[in-house]
Homo-oligomer: A and B are copies of this chain.
């Protein structure tokens, strides 16, 4: 019997205990936007790494919440994996929409209902359970691990760079960034293997024309900041794409292999993303073209919000004093946030919109790993062992702070995924399937052993 199989059996034996530990962890609130339970959860996370796994663990302070920083030594391997995790979650409101309280972590039917159940405290504890089972059975680990669990992922990882700077020596030892998360779109669906994340630049554009809102009888002689911003934005994007000079010039075309993965599962890719939102209207009609856009194209300047003047009921007749737009661009290889910011600034100046102020609210890089990387091949092999042919997703259209680790000077490969299903992240009744957790823990074990042999 292989080590992995023995450990799977151990997971089955101990699964009730694993579940209880996951529930205990989920019962401890940790909401970074309000601060509720953050310190307690950071210390609790340290405690688990120390007591379950005998790890060396500290809290690395940042200007925001500290990062739980752990190290686990293997007796036999000189290879090191960086495990990225997060201990913060989103707020729980609206409370009255939950079928059971968000911090009771009650098992309802075949799922655990709790804030953080799937995103991502449940999976994090599942990972620790899996490592504990490995140690129980073998007395060793197949890799060294460096573990960084941050407390500000839901705030855009705003201070994660500080952690990276402080712990650079340890991070330089790591060959792979591994974020173990259940990634089956539904219980029986094949898991999705994300090979990358788009970057994102998020900007605020503001135009202020006069100190006060003015009676709209004067509209004929006053500049209107909403019009200014509308004309500026209109000059930046048309129906068919972005008009900012040079916007697309660094976009790397997808490889034939990437295209193959997306084209062959275009319908799944689009449905998986849009179905939870009940999306009925699309920009295009051709599913293959849409899947390609979704995965390989920078977003054509999205407007996240626009606000000016009176937006309540009925009428208020004013020329507003101020207009504000929030926009984002999702970046694909080989775009950079800095480049896009400069191009947008130059565009506005060139088109006479110097009265519009630009503020950068966030700027994340993209990250991408080849399907041929050993970690990815190990994951594919693992999923096949469990009976699934994974869906290869060359790039996830969302963004994550992985680029901090996968670029110079660390150049880690990235692996993001695992068996198991959960859902309703950020929403009421967030859940993870109980059986999904069991598969999740087992898939971690198999992956690590498969990977250690490559």
Contacts and interface: CB of A to CB of B under 8 A. Distances in A.
Interface stretch (A66-74, A79-87, A313-321, A438-446): A313-321
Contacts of A318: 304-305
A454 interface: no
A342 interface: no
Interface string A117-159: 0000000000000000000000000000000000000011000
A277 B270 CA distance: 51
Interface in A345-371: 361-362
A292 to B, nearest CB: 9
A20 interface: no
Interface in A186-221: 198, 200, 202, 209-212, 214-221
Contacts of A220: 283, 293-294, 297-300, 330, 397
Contacts of A226: 303, 305-306
A324 interface: yes
Interface stretch (A4-12, A160-168, A170-178, A229-237): A229-237
Copies of this chain assembled into the complex: 2
A239 interface: yes
Nearest to A309: B305
Nearest to A238: B231
A320 B349 CA distance: 28
A18 interface: no
A185 interface: no
A396 interface: yes
A274 interface: yes
A396 B274 contact: no
A281 B284 CA distance: 42
A307 interface: yes
Contact of A330 (B210, B217, B223, B324): B217
Contacts of A311: 305-307, 324, 326
B315 A398 contact: no
Contact of A316 (B238, B305, B324, B396): B305
B281 A210 contact: yes
A223 B282 contact: yes
Contacts of A215: 273, 277, 398
24 contacts: A210-B278, A211-B278, A211-B280, A214-B274, A216-B304, A217-B330, A217-B396, A218-B274, A218-B294, A220-B330, A221-B284, A221-B294, A222-B281, A223-B282, A227-B233, A227-B237, A304-B316, A306-B306, A306-B308, A307-B311, A315-B326, A315-B328, A315-B361, A315-B362
Interface of A: 155-156, 198, 200, 202, 209-212, 214-224, 226-227, 230-231, 233-234, 237-239, 270, 273-274, 277-284, 290, 293-294, 297-300, 302-311, 314-320, 323-324, 326, 328, 330, 361-362, 396-399
